[in-house]
Structure 1
Amino acid sequence: MVRSSALVTLQLGFIGCVFVTGGLEDMRQDGAGEDVLLVLVLLSVGLWLLAFAVNLSIVWFNVPKWSVPPHMRGDTGVKTEALRSRWARLNRKR
């Protein structure tokens, strides 16, 4: 969790933006701001999905290196280690 705590915070912020823009939808009086709110909701959801994908890549594969804390950059990711051990087992059977 330490590897991606900044991204988790960012994801929660994007989720908050979705709720805020959804709340603004209820408050509007006429249809003038409908397109703007739709764009804000779609942008927030898209940015959340992007942050989620980067979060998974950090935890699973320990990349991109610039977003991994310096003391953890030499470590392997969770899935990287599992894939290496699986490939080693498959190569031993051949």
Structure 2
Amino acid sequence: MTVQLLHGDCVEMMRGLGDASVHSIVTDPPYHLTEVSRGGHARTNNPDMPHGRHRIGDKGFMGKVWDGGDVAFRVETWAEALRVLTP
């Protein structure tokens, strides 16, 4: 068995692969939390919790700006994944 780890933009990397040439894709796309509004989250009157019970949406997951990507929501991403995966 051969394992190959590819590092780069997932869509660009998959474009370089042949049809039905991959047996597995392991993915962890961004949570896309930088665009989530805090307005819909549960609020509290507790002054120690000014953002409500859930503080997300201001800086993404763990404060990382890369978390704002849209790769998980692009049809192109999943079309390429389907193309390269073996049946």
TM-score (norm 1): 0.27
More helix by share: 1
Higher relative contact order (CA 8 A, sep 6+): 2
| Larger Rg, first or second structure (1 or 2) | 1
Query: TM-score when scaled to structure 2?
Result: 0.28
